[in-house]
Amino acid sequence: MTIARTLLFALLASAFAGSTISPAMAQVCSRQGVDVICDDGRRGIFAGDAIVWADGSRSSLASPHPSVIIGSKS
């Protein structure tokens, strides 16, 4: 009986873990001058090659990738 309960618990735990996993969502951000506004509500300031967010953290590219566009390239 103990093995059956253990297997049932493992099955329920794995089903729960599988249902809570969701794919990563990409952010869509726009820049007007030095102000950066993202569709998830985050705001920041564009400073050189990085974005400084309101909480003080920074987002920057370790190395430029051709598929990543910050701002308008036109």
pLDDT in tens, 3-51: 888 887 787 777 666 555 666 666 788 889 999 988 888 899 988 888 8
Q: Is the pTM of this model over 0.75?
A: no
3-state SS class at 2: helix
> Residue 64 pLDDT > 90, yes or no?
no
The CA distance from 6 to 25, in Å, is: 35
> Residue 1 pLDDT > 70, yes or no?
no
pLDDT band at 59 (very low <50, low <70, confident <90, very high): confident
SS3 for 3-62 is HHHHHHHHHHHHHHHHHHCCCCCCCCEEEECCEEEECCCCEEEEECCEEEECCCCEEECC
Domain limits of the chain?
A: 25-74
Residue 44 has what pLDDT? 92
